[in-house]
Amino acid sequence: MSTFIEYLEGLNKGDTKVRAVLRRSLSFEPGVYPAAFPYVEPYLKDEDGAWRRKTYYLVAGLWAQHWRERLNGEQKPIGMALADYVKASGSQSVEQRFIALLDADEDQLSYRLRQIIALLKEQKIDFEKLLKNLLTWNNENKWTQRNWAQDFYRSLNKETTHEETQP
């Protein structure tokens, strides 16, 4: 069975309006824009809960927003991609947006992620990993948020830490 992102890529090859519809769905609460139903509902199961359903719609919209025909490089998780963006741009305000994302609840998550994904338009994002991470967003141990923070700060400080440990 193909992954959800492979499924969307396959739909996109047959009809490029898929991306337009899914991008438009980001203007609504995830999972309520009827035009997006034909593209996401076939991938969901009857027993899927509300959070899982919302997450699939959100990731589909984010994938469509971010989609580029050719992006160079390997797919990266959000934390690493954002660290690369900070290193390349020198932006100091991005860290505050990232912290706001990590602290986001279900109601804020869609808005915060749209902002971050828009910043990362030149980065190749691992949307399959993003989907898996978001499915566990509400875990009381905050595994996803902690992993994203580790990816971000370790990637951001990789060169500094390495240089400091050299004799």
Q: Average pLDDT, stretch 144-151?
A: 97
pLDDT digits (tens, 9 = 90+) for 43-60: 998 878 999 999 999 999
Pair (63, 77) in one structural domain: no
Nearest CA among 52, 56, 158, 147 for reference residue 102? 147
pLDDT score, position 114: 95
Specify whether 54 is located in the same domain as 110.
no
DSSP-assigned beta bridge partners for residue 125: 76
Indicate whether 149 and 93 sit together in one domain.
Answer: yes
Are residues 109 and 61 located together in one domain of the fold?
Answer: no
56/85 same-domain check: no
Q: What is the CATH number of the domain that holds 137?
A: 1.10.520.40
Q: State whether 97 and 35 are in the same domain.
A: no
pTM over 0.85: yes
Instruction: Tell me: do 91 and 40 sit in the same domain.
Output: no
**Tens-digit pLDDT profile for residues 79-125:** 999 999 999 998 889 999 999 999 999 999 999 999 999 999 988 99
> Do 78 and 63 lie in a common domain?
no
**56-69 residues labelled b (16+ CB within 10 A) or e (exposed):** bbbbbbbbbbbbee
DSSP bridge partners of 112:
none
